[in-house]
């Protein structure tokens, strides 16, 4: 006879107890499931790097995947490079030597830094880490460090925070004892709107006092300063003229600094961070960009856009503004490059940016690339996004391919058939297309009939169906019976409209009969039926509107259905059905691409309230940036709930 102890032992032996995953397995699974889970990435990186037994390939692969998602985290590029450099001191498993030779480790570290300065080209911090590594860690010769410093100051030397970068340049030229070159560096600095420009001015004055005249000005420059009439000039006076000429440049630069001082003070951070950009900071960026665009210095304006995108890389409004500006200034190719950066790196999970890009490409007659963008959204980014289906159908309509458009409308209805509001949205668009563009009212009517049979609880759908029948009927004798039959279907007991919605449909039914019926007897019959329905369902006999309201279409969403509330809340509804606006938006509960695709059909709709076409400014997204630059700080998962709104 089997005892309870024996049964317990058998259960254990059969593996009924769940296997607890290791921390590495748990964290790897977390980032596989949600590539935007920054907390898990930070923990995973710390884990793989802290365990001595972790293979080099595993650490490198983890860093590569992390930085593919968060490329602006300059601190993690630096950690990655330092890890590679440290392999020269790490023993192999058998203890026979180090994992890498010093030369191999240095080369690997430099390769990582090179990748970092490409990914974060306009970051002073990223360039500083690279230059400090070359100068202070591996003590590279001047022939290697100077070209890197030149690239650094070319990329971000005009950043107000680039003072430390120029200081490094001064240090290496001082150590190299190349005074004429150092003099040129000082003169270049006077053109840069640095926050500490006055400090560099003081250093330049001290430099001038300690140098020979030929280090301060070339013979040609000296001749230009003395003038044609003075063949011999006192050296002291010539020094004064040299300094005065540089001071003129410095003073002009200081004027530029003062004009932009308020904007610079409003920038709360110049690096990429996991927390959202504040509303005040975002408005400051827009005002600053307005100022630079009006000033007309295209180089300075582009530099400011790139600075802005470091902290605002996940804000679509900034990318679209940048595209609009750079297309005007530099043309299609430059604007296309900006869009490519947005869709391949920073906003690759955001369906709306792909739709904007497709529209941009279509304007420039790049139809195949535009189609590719639509297919990317519909197959990968957000397969259930209703707006993507409709945008693509309209794309095919504009190309004259009606049959393909019809196929994708049908596919869209099938994809969103379980969501009544979105199904209504797509159905209305499809029926409107068939009626207005194809000229097939019968087929449009069949779409409406199929839709109300599928989702009879959508007042939006019923109102647009009724609106369609009124419009298509004109003044024909069949108008009243045909429209009345739709009202009757909507008001049947089998219809899933709420009592309040049916109350309002009855109200509209009576008003329609008042305006279109050929005899008052027909009007009185409908009102009699309305009162009988109210008596049967314990409704007030007062003829009042409960959930619908007579408001202008300018104030309403699609079909007069307000989308400015969360799902489950009561929405005000209007009587004037329309077919060209948007539906309600759903709150995003998770930051995974899968969740984005699953919720996109309802959530992304609100986006189009702000954007009705390429180049129009929309409201800022309230979202979290997906990286904490140079920081090991852990943030609560709640901060990521609104990340990448679809």
Residue 573 bridge partners (DSSP): 548, 561
Identify the pLDDT of residue 447: 97
Q: What share of the chain is helix, strand, coil (3-state, %, to 5)?
A: 65, 0, 30
Return d(Cα 277, Cα 268) in angstroms, integer: 9
Cα 520 to Cα 532: distance, rounded to the nearest angstrom: 18
Half-sphere exposure of 128 (CA within 13 A, CB side): 15
Q: What is the H or E stretch that residue 548 is in?
A: strand 548-549
Q: How far lies 604's CA from each of 68, 404, 570, in Å?
A: 25, 24, 20
Q: What is the pLDDT at residue 572?
A: 38
Q: Residue 574 pairs with which residues in a beta bridge? A: 549
3-state secondary structure of 98: strand
Is 573 in a helix, a strand, or coil?
strand
Q: How far apart are CA 370 and CA 393, in angstroms?
A: 13
- Are the C-beta atoms of residues 424 and 388 closer than 8 Å to each other? no
Q: What does each C-alpha distance from 7 to 2, 17, 412 come to in angstroms? A: 7, 13, 54
Contact 493, 517 (CB under 8 A): no
Contacting residues for 433 by C-beta, under 8 A, at least 6 apart? 393, 397, 405, 409
446 CB-near residues (< 8 Å, 6+ apart): none
pLDDT at 385: 95
Other CB atoms within 10 Å distance of the CB of residue 92: 10
Supply the pTM of this predicted model.
0.78
Helix (H) or strand (E) holding 54: none
In sign, the C-alpha dihedral spanning 57, 63, 65, 71 is negative
Residues written for the chain: 646
Query: What is the predicted pLDDT for the residue at 228?
Result: 59
Which residues does residue 91 pair with via DSSP β-bridges, in sequence order? 98
The pair of three-digit structure tokens given for residue 173, joined into one six-digit string: 């030229």
Q: Report d(CA 169, CA 149) in Å as an integer.
A: 7
User: Which residues in the chain show pLDDT less than 50?
Assistant: 1, 4, 7, 11-14, 550-646
Q: Where are the alpha helices (DSSP H) in 477-562?
A: 479-490, 499-516, 520-536
**E strand residue ranges, 422-529:** none
Q: How far is CA 514 from CA 506, 525, 640, in A?
A: 12, 11, 55
pLDDT score at 16:
56
- CB burial readout 558-574, b (16+ within 10 A) else e: bbbbbbeeeeeeebebb
CB 208 within 8 A of CB 239: yes
Hey, CA dihedral for 201, 204, 209, 210, is it positive or negative?
positive
Backbone angles phi, psi at 561, to 5 degrees: -105, 115
pLDDT at 240: 86
Pairing state between β 573-574 and 548-549:
parallel
Which residue(s) pair with 98 in the sheet? 91
User: How far does CA 562 lie from the centroid of its chain?
Assistant: 25
pLDDT (0 to 100) of residue 581: 32
- Sequence-separated (6 or more) residues with CB below 8 Å from residue 39: 634, 635, 637, 640
The per-residue pLDDT for 553 is 33
Q: pLDDT tens across 570-585, in order?
A: 333 333 333 333 333 3
Instruction: State the Cα–Cα distance between residues 623 and 312, nearest whole angstrom.
Output: 11
* Residue 73 near residue 626 (C-beta atoms within 8 A): no
């Amino acid at each position: 006879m089997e005892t309870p102890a024996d049964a317990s032992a058998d259960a254990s032996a059969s593996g009924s107890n769940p296997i607890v995953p290791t921390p590495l397995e748990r964290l790897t699974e977390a980032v596989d499931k949600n590539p935007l889970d920054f907390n898990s990435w930070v923990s995973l990186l710390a884990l793989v790097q802290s365990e001595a037994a972790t293979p080099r390939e595993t650490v490198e692969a983890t860093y590569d995947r992390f930085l593919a998602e968060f490329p602006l985290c300059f601190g993690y590029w630096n950690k990655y490079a330092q890890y590679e450099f440290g392999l020269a001191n790490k023993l192999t498993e058998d203890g026979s030597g180090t994992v890498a030779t010093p030369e191999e480790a240095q080369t690997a570290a430099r390769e990582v830094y090179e990748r970092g300065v490409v990914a974060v080209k306009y970051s002073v911090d990223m360039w500083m880490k690279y230059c400090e590594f070359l100068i202070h860690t591996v003590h590279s010769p001047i022939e290697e460090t100077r070209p890197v410093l030149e690239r650094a100051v070319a990329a971000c030397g005009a950043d107000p925070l680039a003072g430390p970068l120029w200081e490094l340049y001064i240090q290496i030229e001082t150590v190299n004892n190349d005074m004429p070159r150092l003099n040129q560096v000082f003169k270049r600095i006077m053109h840069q709107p640095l926050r500490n420009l006055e400090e560099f001015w003081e250093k330049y004055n001290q430099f001038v006092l300690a140098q020979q005249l030929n280090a301060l000005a070339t013979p040609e420059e000296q001749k230009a300063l003395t003038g044609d009439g003075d063949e011999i000039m006192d050296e002291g006076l010539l020094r004064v003229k040299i300094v005065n000429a540089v001071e003129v440049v410095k003073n002009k630069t200081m004027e530029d600094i003062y004009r932009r001082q308020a904007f610079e003070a409003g920038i709360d951070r110049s690096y990429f961070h996991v927390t959202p950009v504040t509303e005040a900071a975002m408005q400051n960026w827009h005002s600053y960009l307005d100022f630079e665009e009006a000033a007309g210095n295209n180089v300075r304006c582009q530099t400011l856009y790139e600075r802005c995108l470091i902290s605002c890389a996940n804000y679509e409004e900034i990318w679209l503004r940048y595209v609009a500006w750079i297309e005007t200034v530099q043309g299609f190719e430059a604007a296309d490059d900006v869009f490519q950066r947005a869709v391949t790196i920073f906003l690759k999970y955001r369906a709306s940016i792909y739709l904007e890009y497709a529209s941009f490409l279509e304007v420039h007659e790049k139809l195949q690339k535009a189609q590719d963008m639509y297919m990317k959204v519909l197959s990968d980014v957000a397969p259930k996004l209703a707006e993507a289906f409709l945008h693509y159908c309209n794309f095919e309509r504009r190309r004259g391919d009606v049959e393909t458009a019809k196929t994708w409308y049908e596919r869209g209805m099938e994809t969103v058939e379980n969501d009544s509001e979105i199904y209504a949205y797509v159905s209305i668009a499809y029926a409107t297309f068939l009626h207005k563009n194809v000229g097939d009212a019968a087929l449009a009517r069949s779409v409406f009939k199929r839709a109300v049979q599928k989702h009879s609880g959508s007042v939006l759908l019923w109102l647009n169906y009724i609106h369609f029948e009124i419009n298509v009927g004109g003044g024909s004798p069949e108008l009243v019976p045909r429209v009345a039959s739709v009202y009757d279907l909507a008001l049947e007991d089998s219809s899933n409209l709420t009592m309040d919605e049916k109350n309002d449909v009855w109200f509209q039914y009576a008003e329609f009969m008042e305006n279109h019926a050929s005899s008052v007897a027909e009007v009185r019959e409908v009102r009699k039926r309305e009162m009988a329905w109210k008596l049967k369902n314990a409704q007030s006999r007062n003829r009042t509107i409960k959930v619908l309201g007579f408001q202008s279409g300018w104030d309403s969403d699609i079909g007069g259905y307000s989308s400015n509330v969360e799902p489950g809340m009561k929405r005000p509804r209007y009587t004037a059905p329309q077919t060209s606006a948007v539906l309600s938006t759903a709150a995003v509960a998770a930051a995974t691409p899968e969740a984005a695709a699953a919720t996109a059909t309802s959530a992304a709709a609100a986006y189009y309230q702000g954007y009705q076409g390429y180049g129009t400014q929309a409201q800022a997204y309230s979202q979290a940036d997906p990286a904490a630059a140079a920081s090991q700080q852990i943030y609560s998962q709640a901060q990521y709930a609104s990340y990448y709104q679809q």
